[in-house]
Structure 1
Amino acid sequence: MAEEHKSSELQDIKELVDELYNYRDCYFETHSVEEAARKQEDVTLELEKVLKKLQEKEDSYKHKAEFLLLKGRCLSVAPDFSVAAEDCLSRAVKLEPGLVDGWNTLGEQYWKKGDLMAAKNCFTGALQQSKNKVSLRNMSMVLRQLPAADGDTHGKQVMESVDMARQAVQLDVADGTSWYILGNAYVSLFFSCGQRPQFSTQALSAYAQAERVDRAAACYPELHFNRAILFQYEEMFGSALGGYSRAAALDPGWPEPAEKEKQLMEYLNNVTELCQKKGKVKARRLRSMLSNLSTSSLGPCSSPDFRSWTGRVGSLESRPSSSLTHGLNGGVAALGKVVFSLASQDRMAFTFGMVDSEETCVVVMVYNTADSWGVLIGDTVVVPEPRVKRHSITHKDRSFDFKSIRVDSPLFLIVNGRTQNAQSLIVTSVSYKPQSE
């Protein structure tokens, strides 16, 4: 009878700890976004209540693995590393090595501590006990953060990370956290393995699925922030601004989303203003700059043997921006003079304005540039087979409207009649926020 009573008491404690996690993870189901600044304080208060009830039972259960696990889980609800949680969880898995939750939660504590290898060992240990979604997605995250000797090793780790996240999703397709972590894995794959469009599409699809199946996941500030970074890289600026703004609202204590939103707003404002004013170049100087703009300025692009970045072989015909259509413009080239440039922001893109023979200014965004690469006012630039986009963005009562050309590598450009050397290219990498545990 005593054993039945103890089992019942431990079940009651487990329900309290589960409710604590539910309170944290589903906070915005019972609170408005305006209360976001109070979330951590409210979670801490709930933690203290549950901890007090645990302490009342400690003398009876302090040597039982299940109680130590529950206390360790309770302490682990806080965002920072806890020595007490590590101690409880270490003792729990020593007493009962088959405790999958124990290994997972201990691994999360090591991760918070910054000991990635110890975290990985814990998740591996949990997977040896049973294949479970928590260990798989934690392994996915750790693999992406482990240091790598070289790019190939890192690429393999990222591929393995994607596989782990996929397996976690397959175990429970209704778990938004697993979908979110799969989205992050695809973002890493996109930036580390050739920026293939399908990886970006798969990342955005996974994030959308996380929101669709799980209201709690839809309130992860990290989801909105990480997706906004990808939106920004894909030049979906309105969506990026919305994502940064949502992340900042959901976690007011996290400064980076608001900073990113402000930076992007300033960037779009500068681009719009400089484009409208043609870089503030005086009319007489502009006419002088454009006077020597002719088909001879096409350089290598005028050769019948020219191979463009799309793989097409043949000479290209110069076209003013007014005759360029949305999307890829095959068989033609955009030609103009540089009238302004903006330093790369967060290594996203080197941006410059180019005025064509009709004195129309178009923005050119060049990705994967080395810090040392750039163009100067007055340079002649040819963009073979340009990809054109019209941006019309409204955010927080501010509007931005301009036409741009996207160039994925400086090697695709002709500057002052010359192709660019390999030293001008450095593959962009971006940092994003991993899921808080």
Structure 2
Amino acid sequence: MAEKEESSGAGEAKTELQIIKELVDELHNFRDCYFETHGVEEAGRRDGDVKQKMEETLMRLEEKEDILKHNAEFLLQKGRCLNVTPDFSAAAEECLSRAVKLDPCLVEAWNILGDQYWKKGDLVASKNCFTGALQHEKNKVSLRNLSMVLRQLPTPNKDQHGKHVLESVDLAREAVQLDPGDGTSWCILGNAYLSLFFNCGQNPQFSQQALSAYAKSAADKIASSMPDLHFNRANLFYYEEMFGCALEGYSRAAALDPNWEEPLEKEKQLLEYLEKVTELIQNKGKVKTRRLKTMLSNLNTSALGPCSSPQFRAPSGRVGSLEPRPLSSLTHGHNGGVAALGKVVFSLASQGRMAFTFGMVDSEETCLVVMVYNTADNWGVLIGDSVVVPEPNVKRHSITHKDKSYDFKSIRVDSPLLLIVNGKLQNAQSQIPVSVSYH
């Protein structure tokens, strides 16, 4: 008889736990699929609505606390409930710590506890939770979260950080392989490739792999409502000079999280930059006609410097002197075997922007903008300098965003070391790798 009663009690507890899990699942679904039932214009209410639903769910859970407070599964679900908001919760940490003590094999509890430590800023404890969870079971959540933590952990030197970044890519790849349909895992793989691109030599392949991963993430209905995804991808679009896509990304991130100021600030910065660049190209940097003619009168092939030597090695690896060509004759894309030669008529420092930007005018008085990446803070060119761009890579930009349009051509230069200024190559100190923030 006693055994029957015990068995019946266990069955009852199981039913209660099932109901509790369904309540918490419903809460997470409400958060993750918020924009399926609400318009983007209601995005500002999302955090408040999720918090209110969390408190309602918590009240339902606390009704069962007396009989289930020593049950690991109950503590896990209570921790999950408290973890639904972006802030650290001491109560969640306590519940989850108790859950893993009662059942050390509870992988989900380890993962959520690791998430809480992440929110708290304790990255070492967070890493230990995800590593511990993987010892019990290989799972996508531990893998992708460990990928994130590794990239954030402080390291004694750049080499160690580089190793962490490489390892983080492998972990994120593994998470995607376990569930190729999970958009959140694709987003974290995109971030890992983004970090790899900027920390390990800016190999264009890594940039394309990041964009490919972000595209798969954006196709997922849950991941596509994450503002971080749109912001991080926009930063990479910006660096790749896909300005229209970058503006759309910042705008989307700001719409999904109206309380987050950075995307709006980035969008505003980029619009101001494009406005300034197009204006300066049109009026040739506002240099007065007489001064411009004087500047151009002493522009000659002596400014080519090493480019005129038959031993000159161009960025493409081609050896031989380069032929100076008018800016108007340059074709879209890579212009092999030729050099763009002109005088600087304006410059914009790279503060708050990806590239040091300057305008150059050639002997035909054609003006083109040059965007130089990976420049040291103290590097720049002055109005009147003669600049040569060996084998220029020309891009045409045609951008429309929020009733504003911009149309101009530019030359992209990946390092100041590729330029010849006043007949001279630039020294090694003029270059420093650019970094892009991501969330």
- Taking structure 2 as the reference length, the TM-score comes to 0.98
Alignment of 1:321-360 (within 5 A): 321-346=327-352, 348-360=354-366
- Structure 2 CA distance, aligned partners of 1:266 and 1:332? 32
Tell me how far apart the structure 2 counterparts of residues 137 and 148 of structure 1 sit (CA, whole Å): 20
Give the letter for the 2:191 counterpart.
Answer: N
**Distance (Å, rounded) in 2 between the aligned partners of 1:425 and 1:206:** 29
- Mapped to 1, the partners of 2:402 and 2:436 lie a distance apart of 26
Secondary structure at the residue paired with 1:392?
strand
In the other structure, the counterpart of 2:427 is 421
Q: Which residue of 2 aligns with 1:114?
A: 121
The 8 Å contact of residues 334 and 382 in structure 1, kept in 2 or not, is answered as: yes
Q: What pairs with 1:149-168 in structure 2 (closer than 5 Å)?
A: 149-168=156-175
Matches within 5 A, 1:372-383: 372-383=378-389
Name the residue aligned to 2:5.
none
**Pairwise mapping of residues 272-351 of structure 1 onto structure 2 (< 5 A)?**
272-346=278-352, 348-351=354-357
Q: Distance in 2 between matches of 1:105 and 1:85?
A: 9
Residues 21-420 of structure 1: matches in 2 within 5 Å? 21-212=28-219, 214-346=220-352, 348-420=354-426
Deviation at 1:346, TM superposition (A): 2.8
Q: Percent identity?
A: 75
Q: CA deviation digits over 1:146-174, x for unaligned, max 9?
A: 11221111111111000000000000111
Return the letter of the residue paired with 2:25: D
Query: Deviation digits for residues 315-345 of structure 1, max 9, x if unmatched?
Result: 0010111000000000000000000000104
Distance 2:404 2:437 in 1: 27
- Deviation at residue 310 of structure 1 after TM alignment: 1.6
Shift of 1:22: 1.0
* Residue pair 2:176, 2:186 contacting (<8 A) in 1 also: yes
Corresponding residue SS for 2:64: helix
The aligned amino acid for 1:288 is T
SS at match of 1:313: coil
Give secondary structure in 2 for the equivalent of 1:426.
coil
Unaligned runs of 5+ in 2: 1-7
SS at 1:405 equivalent: strand
The superposition leaves residues 42-96 of structure 1 with CA deviations (integer Å, 9 ceiling, x where unpaired) of 1011101100001100001111111111111110111111111001111110111
Give the secondary structure class of the aligned counterpart of 1:389: strand
Which segments of structure 1 move beyond 6 Å, counting only runs of 4 or more? none
SS of residue paired to 1:81: coil
1: CA distance, partners of 2:113 / 2:127: 10
Shift, 1:347, TM fit? 5.1
RMSD: 0.7
* Offset from partner CA, 1:287-325 (integer Å, 9 cap, x none): 000001111211110000111122111100101110000
- Once residues 319 and 395 of structure 2 are traced to their aligned partners in structure 1, the CA distance between those partners, rounded to angstroms, is 24
CA contact (8 A) 1:347 1:428 kept: no
**Total equivalences in the alignment:** 432
Distance (Å, rounded) in 1 between the aligned partners of 2:309 and 2:139: 59
Could you give the per-residue CA deviations for residues 382-425 of structure 1, whole angstroms, max 9, x where no partner exists? 00000000111111111111110000000000000100000000
Residue identity opposite 1:257 in structure 2: P
**TM-score, normalised on structure 1?**
0.98
